[in-house]
């Protein structure tokens, strides 16, 4: 296939979400997203014939572009492209929750939920690309309405057996505690309403709300951070991790 990387870039040829995310975190923190987009995604779109048409193209055109591949393998390419974009959207959603998280616990929860989703989606992306890259036989159709959901879960779980680093595990655990456990106890500044609560990796020590309130009362808050700072730091950790994983698995 022709190398389209010299003809297209996200700032000029991405969709609205990609152009929005580019200066926020793609350009400086996640440049491998654009590299893989140029290398792999562009050739699956109508940009090949019309630079202004960003849509994924139809099967008949893909069969002509990849004449040696089965329809199952072509659909695997399309699934990879959709996962690639979906991971970015989850990161963009997480980013937009950072500022409101300063005063809103729901926004903090939403930020962590989107980061968790970005990691899950990326795991499936890496696994699918690996079997495509290694030319493994692909007999299951990624878009089969009966089998595709269970297949995606299995592919993702198999990949995630490669254990995440400790800081990523802590972020995922923090999200699980927020969404599946008791509410987090936190305080708000009297006038501005900024939230303070136990940091990632420290919440297990403050499951008893009374220990939280006692920490505030005595000033022993070394395990606590402002909610916006928790969200921002966790976002940065996840983006940096995914940048390295994009380099390792996709570039």
241 inside domain: yes
Q: What is the pLDDT of residue 6?
A: 62
What is the residue-averaged pLDDT of the chain? 94
Is pLDDT above 80 for 188? yes
174 inside domain: yes
pLDDT band at 51 (very low <50, low <70, confident <90, very high): confident
Mean per-residue pLDDT for 189-218?
94
48 inside domain: yes
214 inside domain: no
Query: Is the CB of residue 102 less than 8 Å from the CB of residue 230?
Result: no
Is pLDDT above 80 for 181? yes
Query: Is the CB of residue 11 less than 8 Å from the CB of residue 17?
Result: no
Is pLDDT above 70 for 2? no
Is pLDDT above 60 for 214? yes
Q: How many domains does the chain have?
A: 1
Q: What is the pLDDT of residue 137?
A: 87
pLDDT band at 3 (very low <50, low <70, confident <90, very high): low
**What is the secondary structure of the chain as a DSSP string?**
---GGGT--HHHHS-HHHHHHIIIIIHHH-HHHHHHIIIIIGGGBGGGT-TT--SB--HHHHHHHSTTS-HHHHHHHHHHHHHHHHHHHHHHHHHHHHTGGGT-HHHHHHHHHHHHHHHHHHHHHHHHHHHHHTT----S-TT-TTTHHHHHHHHHHHHHTSPPPHHHHHHHHHHHHHHHSSPPP-EE-TTT--EEEEPTTTGGGG-SHHHHHHHHHHT--TTEEEHHHHHHHHHHHHHHHHHHHHHHHT-
Is pLDDT above 80 for 19? yes
Is pLDDT above 70 for 5? no
Q: Which two tokens stand for residue 160?
A: 């995630």
Domain assignment of residue 103, given as a range: 4-179+228-249
Contacts of residue 7, Cβ cutoff 8 Å, sequence gap at least 6 = 42, 51
134 inside domain: yes
212 inside domain: no
11 inside domain: yes
Among 16-25, 30-39, 47-56, 72-81, the minimum mean pLDDT is found in 47-56
Mean per-residue pLDDT for 23-44?
97
189 inside domain: no
Compute the CA torsion angle 31, 34, 39, 41 (nearest 10 deg): 150
Mean per-residue pLDDT for 113-137?
95
Is pLDDT above 60 for 179? yes
């Amino acid at each position: 296939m022709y190398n389209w990387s010299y003809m297209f870039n996200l700032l000029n040829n991405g969709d609205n979400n990609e152009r929005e995310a580019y200066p926020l975190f793609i350009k400086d923190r996640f440049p491998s997203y654009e590299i893989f987009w140029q290398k792999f995604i562009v050739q699956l779109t109508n940009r090949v014939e019309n630079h202004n048409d960003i849509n994924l193209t139809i099967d008949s055109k893909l069969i002509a572009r990849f004449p040696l591949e089965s329809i199952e393998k072509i659909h695997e390419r399309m699934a990879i492209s959709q996962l690639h974009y979906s991971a970015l959207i989850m990161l963009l959603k997480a980013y937009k929750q950072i500022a409101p998280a300063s005063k809103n616990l729901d926004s903090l929860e939403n930020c962590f939920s989107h980061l968790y989703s970005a990691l899950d989606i990326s795991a499936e992306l890496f696994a699918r690309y690996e079997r495509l890259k290694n030319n493994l036989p692909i007999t299951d159709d990624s878009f089969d309405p009966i089998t595709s959901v269970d297949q995606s879960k299995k592919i993702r779980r198999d990949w995630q057996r490669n254990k995440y680093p400790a800081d990523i595990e802590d972020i995922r655990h923090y999200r699980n505690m927020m969404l599946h456990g008791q509410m987090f106890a936190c305080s708000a500044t009297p006038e501005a309403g900024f939230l303070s609560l136990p940091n990632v990796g420290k919440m297990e020590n403050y499951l008893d709300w009374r220990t939280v309130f006692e920490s505030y009362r005595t000033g022993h808050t070394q395990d606590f951070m402002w909610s916006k700072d928790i969200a921002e730091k966790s976002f940065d950790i996840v983006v940096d991790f995914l940048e390295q994983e994009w380099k390792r698995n996709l570039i």
